[in-house]
Amino acid sequence: MSADKLLIVGPAWIGDMVMAQSLYKLLRSRNPGLRIDVIAPPWSKPILDRMPEVNRAIELDVAHGEAAVGTRWKLGRRLRGRGYRRAIVLPRSLKAALAPFFAAVPVRTGYRGEWRFALINDARPFDPVRLDQTVKRFIALGLSKDEDELPLPPQPSLRTDEENLRSAVQRLGLTPTAATVAIMPGAEYGPAKRWPAHRFGALSARLAGAGSQVWLLGSESERKIGEEVRVAADHEGVINLCGRTTLADAVDLLGAAAVAVTNDSGLMHVAAAVDTHVVSLYGSTTPRFTPPLTERKDVLYRNPECSPCFRRKCPLGHFNCMMELSVDEVANVAMAALDGRSAVGNQPW
């Protein structure tokens, strides 16, 4: 790519924002002098601040799914004259393409769809077979039109901040050890992606009983789930941190943990990007589509006939995709990871 300044419209979800770093890494590897600015929700700034490839995070403060045409117009007008020669729009919605259009960026790259012909003037075909993973969909938009072969996606790698970690540990009264386990029992999309809280509680109790300090991590909206897990565990070594940390704190705490046990969630991708061994539990979604982008992982997925359904709640009522993952199985995998072993290995999902 010849442009020295590039504007990217980033995704709205935490996990997608982490995976988008693969695109930024690819672009910078091809043009080391490239300055990448990313339009993103305010909450994602702590993630973008940990990506050395990103020059600047440009906040777009609109609610998820909100058109907010006026807000996007004002942002686009502010960005005019900043020297962007190209924009890449990662989301496939019409509204996501508005700001670069209003900014009069000459080349605006994105996938065809949602009647945005005038907004995207470098429209790329969307082939779900070829682009069978979210990360592939991101990096494909960074290629030239004549490149048919997708390169291997660079793995995301977020920086951690030792000073912020020390501050968070002191404020929260934590004692990190070589056997600390982070558990993320939530998933913003809905309950179909969540292993039951009482099972996370039984797992937490078992790990704490074996000498691990267990940190339950999640957002304010997941505080109740975290408390259900803590109560079910009934062990002083299990600490509910859901809603008590910033996103920047969560990045650093995950970097300090030895193992993270998690549903398919945004924090799963954060854990992978700080090189923590990830034990990922999949049910209504599939690791074929959004795997943790790391070699240090164990993926537990039953791959039933009804999965992936990508529904917020189980449409069949039985929730077998998650219920078939037992506490014994998950505990054995987590303990093996703590011992430096992989009990499952990297599955070809």
Is residue 348 in some structural domain?
A: no
Domain around 67 = 5-140
CA 88 to each of CA 2, 123, 125: distance values in angstroms, whole numbers, following the listed order: 14, 10, 14
* 97 and 175 fall within a common domain: no
Are residues 224 and 128 both part of a single domain?
A: no
Together in a domain, 217 and 334:
yes
pLDDT of amino acid 347: 57
In this predicted structure, the answer to whether residue 204 has a pLDDT above a threshold of 80 is yes
Quick one: pLDDT at residue 254?
98
Look at residues 106, 140, 174 and tell me which one is the last residue of a structural domain: 140
Q: Give me the mean pLDDT over the 23-32 stretch.
A: 97
Residue 346 lies in a domain: no
Residue 263, pLDDT score: 94
pLDDT at 349: 47
| Shared domain check, 273 and 124 | no
Percent of the chain residues topping a pLDDT of 70: 96
Q: Given pLDDT bands bounded at 50, 70 and 90, which one contains residue 2?
A: very low
Q: Do 183 and 245 lie in a common domain?
A: yes
pLDDT digits (tens, 9 = 90+) for 71-100: 999 999 999 999 999 999 999 999 999 999
Are 105 and 216 members of one domain? no
Residues 92 and 176 in one domain: no
Contact 21, 53 (CB under 8 A): yes
Q: In the structure, what pLDDT confidence band is assigned to residue 157 with cuts at 50, 70 and 90?
A: very high
345 domain-assigned: no
pLDDT of 33 > 80? The answer is yes
Q: Given a cut of 50, is residue 127 above it in pLDDT?
A: yes
Instruction: Please answer whether residues 53 and 38 qualify as being in contact, where contact means their C-beta atoms are separated by less than 8 angstroms.
Output: no
Please tell me whether residues 211 and 322 are part of one structural domain.
yes
Q: What confidence tens digit (pLDDT) does each residue in 325-344 have?
A: 999 999 999 999 999 877 66
Q: Let me know whether 113 and 208 are in one domain.
A: no
Of 87-96, 295-304, 310-319, which has the strongest mean pLDDT?
87-96
pLDDT higher than threshold 90 for residue 312? no
Q: Are residues 213 and 322 in the same domain?
A: yes
What is the number of structural domains in the chain?
Answer: 2
Same-domain status, 313 and 271: yes
Summary mean pLDDT of the chain:
92
For residue 166, the domain's CATH number is 3.40.50.2000
Is 157 inside a domain boundary? no
**190 and 90 fall within a common domain:** no
Domain contains 145: no
Please state the three-class secondary structure of the chain as a single string.
CCCCEEEEECCCCHHHHHHCHHHHHHHHHHCCCCEEEEEECHHHHHHHCCCCCEEEEEECCCCCCCCCHHHHHHHHHHHCCCCCCEEEECCCCCHHHHHHHHCCCCEEEEECCCCCCCCCCEEECCCCCCCCCHHHHHHHCCCCCCCCCCCCCCCCCCCCCHHHHHHHHHHHCCCCCCCCEEEECCCCCCHHHCCCHHHHHHHHHHHHHCCCCEEECCCHHHHHHHHHHHHHHCCCCEEECCCCCCHHHHHHHHHHCCEEEEECCHHHHHHHHCCCEEEEEECCCCCCCCCCCCCCEEEEECCCCCCCCCCCCCCCCCCHHHHCCCHHHHHHHHHHHHCCCCCCCCCCC
Can you give the length of the chain in residues?
349
Structure tokens at 291: 């795997």
Mean pLDDT across the stretch 30-48?
96
- Whether the full predicted model's pTM is greater than 0.85, yes or no, is yes
Domain boundary among 110, 140, 170: 140
Residue 155: inside a domain, yes or no?
Answer: no
Lowest mean pLDDT across 57-66, 95-104, 155-164, 241-250 = 57-66
pLDDT band at 104 (very low <50, low <70, confident <90, very high): very high
Q: Is residue 230 a part of any domain in this protein?
A: yes
| 41 within some domain | yes
